[in-house]
């Protein structure tokens, strides 16, 4: 099976169009990274886990233009797109899967992840969540926008897929288009229940975990 980074290498040139056509609330999920932060929060060091082509980073840059950014992604083509897009900004790139990430203690004030952590299985999510409080400053924040439902619970997952397919078809996607996305989802996506993930974040050491926005399993979590 093709590795997920190779899949996203292929998507790099049309990634935004794919997301807008196939992911409900995509733009809201991007802005959720900043919409619910405390009004006086001014992070100086920001990590984007699974940066893709930089859509989430661009929104962060518009709000925090003076911050230093670290962008992690396993896709060479996605990192190349970001390097060109943000050539005038202070950006450090890390070539790695999220599961391979390793940073110094207190390295960041804000860590964000948008539609990337669902590629991790349950154990990998818990291992990542345990690292986040280490990488964050004591007053740091983690914001995570993604698909959150138990993909192994067919009574929830199967109706969700029908709703998701209906959204894609509302954007004039054909049988072939939807089958391609459904195949990607089956191969690479491992979403977990939102409440379970909130428990994992608390167990990892966060004092306050909230769900500031959610719509049809597309969800934003914030942990402090």
Helix spans in the chain (H)? 4-11, 15-22, 26-35, 55-63, 76-85, 122-135, 154-170, 175-188, 194-204
Specify the pLDDT at position 99. 95
Q: What is the pLDDT of residues 8-55, one digit of tens each?
A: 666 667 899 999 999 999 999 999 999 999 999 999 999 999 999 999
Q: What is the CATH number of domain 4-223?
A: 3.40.50.150
Q: What is the pLDDT of residues 197-217, one digit of tens each?
A: 999 999 999 999 999 999 999
Paired strand residues for 3: none
Specify the pLDDT at position 81. 92
What is the chain's alpha carbon radius of gyration, rounded to the nearest angstrom? 17
**Pairwise pLDDT comparison (161 vs 2), residue with the higher score:** 161
Specify the pLDDT at position 1. 42
Pairing of strands 108-114, 91-95: unpaired
Specify the long-range contacts of residues 10-14, CB closer than 8 Å, at least 24 apart. 10/77, 12/53, 12/75, 12/77, 12/78, 12/80, 12/81, 13/77, 13/81
Spatial distance between the Cα atoms of 69 and 56, rounded to a whole number of angstroms? 12
Spatial distance between the Cα atoms of 123 and 130, rounded to a whole number of angstroms? 11
Q: What is the pLDDT of residues 128-178, one digit of tens each?
A: 999 999 999 999 999 999 999 999 999 999 999 999 999 999 999 999 999
Specify the pLDDT at position 168. 95
- Per domain, the residue ranges of the chain are 4-223
Spatial distance between the Cα atoms of 103 and 146, rounded to a whole number of angstroms? 23
Angle between helices 154-170 and 15-22 (to 10 degrees): 110
């Amino acid at each position: 099976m093709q590795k997920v980074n190779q899949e996203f290498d292929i998507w790099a040139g049309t990634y935004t169009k794919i997301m807008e056509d196939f992911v409900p609330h995509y733009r809201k999920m991007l802005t959720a990274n900043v919409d619910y932060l405390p009004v006086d929060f001014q992070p100086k060091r920001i990590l984007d886990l699974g940066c893709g082509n930089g859509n989430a980073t661009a929104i962060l840059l518009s709000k925090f233009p003076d911050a230093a950014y670290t962008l992690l992604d396993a896709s060479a083509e996605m990192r190349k797109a970001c390097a060109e897009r943000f050539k005038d900004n202070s950006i450090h790139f890390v070539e790695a899967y999220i599961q391979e990430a390793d940073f110094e203690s207190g390295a960041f004030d804000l860590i964000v992840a948008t539609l990337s952590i669902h590629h991790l299985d349950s154990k990998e999510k818990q291992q990542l969540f345990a690292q986040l409080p280490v990488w964050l400053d004591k007053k740091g924040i983690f914001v995570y926008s993604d698909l959150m439902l138990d993909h192994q619970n067919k009574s929830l997952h199967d109706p969700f897929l029908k709703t998701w397919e209906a959204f894609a078809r509302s954007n004039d996607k054909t049988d072939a288009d939807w089958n391609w996305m459904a195949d990607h989802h089956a191969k690479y996506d491992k979403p977990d229940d939102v409440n379970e993930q909130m428990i994992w974040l608390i167990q990892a050491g966060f004092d306050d975990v909230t769900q500031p926005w959610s719509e049809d399993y597309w969800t934003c979590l914030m942990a402090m």
